[in-house]
Amino acid sequence: MEIKLHNSTVKLYNEDCLSGMRARLEPKSVDVIVTSPPYNIGVKYNQYDDSISRDDYLQWLHEWAQICTEILSDEGSLFLNIGSKPSDPWVPFEVATVMRDVFQLQNVIHWIKSIYIENDSYGDKTSLSVGHYKPINSKRYVNDTHEYIFHFTKTGRVELDRLAIGVPYKDKSNVSRWQGAKADKRCRGNTWYIPYKTIQNRNTERPHPASFPPELVANCIRLHGLEKSALVLDPFMGIGNTALACIDLKIDCVGFELDKEYFDQACQQAMTRITLFD
C-alpha cells in the first residue's frame, strides 16, 4: 500500500523484510531505521514462531543486520528496540553482540515504561508513580518496567540533534551559569520515559503483542535530526506505529510486515491518521 500526504509518502509491504529490503530499497538510501524485531522469548504472534533456537535466531538477525548496512546511508542511524523476560535476560546483550559484527554501538538508551519517583532534593517532597507495566508474580524477579533501544551507526561518529528532544533545566540558574545551556534546554540523556497510552480493549486498540508507542519513534527520528531524515524504514512494522510517527513528522516511510492481520491494522491506522492529520 502506498499513501501520499503533502510532500511525504508512506509505503507498506506485506512481505518478508529480508527479501523486501534488497528488492525495494537502493543501497544507502535509508537515513533512519527504527524497529523492534522479535525478541525470541516466546511471545505469541499470529504467525511468527518466537521460540526458535537461540543460535538460529541470532544467525537470522546477523543476516538482517548485514542487509541493513547495505541500505543504510553512511551517516544513518539504526535504533533497535529490544526487551527480554526475567527468566531470559541475556537476549538484548546477545543481540547487541551479534550486531557488533556489522555496526558500531553509539548509544544505549533505556525506554522506561513505568517509574516511581520519591525525591526531596528541591525542598518539597515529591512522590509520583506513573506508567504501565505487566506485573510479575515471583519471589525471584522484580517487575520489568524498561526495554533497551540500541543506537547503531556505521562509524560510531554520527552527529545528533541532541536538543531536538531536549528537556528544560530543573535549576533555572544553569541557563545563565552554564556556557552550554541554550534557551533553557538540556540533553534528555539516555533514559526516556514513554508510557503506553491507557486502553480499554487490547484486542482492538493494540492487537500486536510487542509494539512500541509512536512517540518513541518520533524521539529517535528527532534525535538523529529531522533535516537529515528523508527516508525512515521499519523492517518489522507490526501495527504501523513507525508510519504514524512519520506521517506526523511529514517524512517518507517504508515498512515491511509479514503477518497479514498486523499489516492490515497498520494500513488502517495510517489511513486514520492521515484523515485526522488533514
What's the pLDDT score for residue 49?
Answer: 72
Sign of the torsion formed by the C-alpha atoms of 233, 65, 239 and 112 = negative
Beta bridge partners of 80: 35, 150
Q: 232, 32 in Cβ contact below 8 A?
A: yes
Q: Is 177 exposed, middle or buried (0-12, 13-18, 19+ CB in 10 A)?
A: exposed
Is pLDDT above 60 for 187?
Answer: yes
Q: Select, from the ranges 121-135, 214-228, 264-278, the one with the highest average predicted confidence (pLDDT).
A: 214-228
What's the pLDDT score for residue 121?
Answer: 63
The position carrying cell 506485506 is 14
Lowest mean pLDDT across 189-198, 207-216, 217-226, 242-251: 207-216
pLDDT tens digits, residue range 15-49?
A: 999 999 999 999 999 999 999 998 888 666 556 67
Own/partner long-range contacts of 84-87 (Cβ < 8 Å, ≥24 apart): 84/39, 84/41, 84/144, 85/39, 85/41, 85/42, 85/144, 86/136, 86/138, 86/140, 86/141, 86/142, 86/144, 87/141
Q: Give the residue-averaged pLDDT of 111-130.
A: 82
DSSP classification of residue 136: -
Task: Place 199 in a pLDDT band, splitting at 50, 70 and 90.
Answer: very low
What is the phi/psi pair of residue 137, to 5°?
Answer: -95, 90
Work out the percent of the chain whose per-residue pLDDT is above 90: 65
Is pLDDT above 70 for 221?
Answer: yes
Task: Place 152 in a pLDDT band, splitting at 50, 70 and 90.
Answer: very high
Q: Is 44 exposed, middle or buried (0-12, 13-18, 19+ CB in 10 A)?
A: exposed
DSSP classification of residue 277: H
13 vs 254: CA distance, rounded Å: 8
pLDDT tens digits, residue range 62-110?
A: 999 999 999 999 999 999 999 998 989 999 999 999 999 999 999 999 9
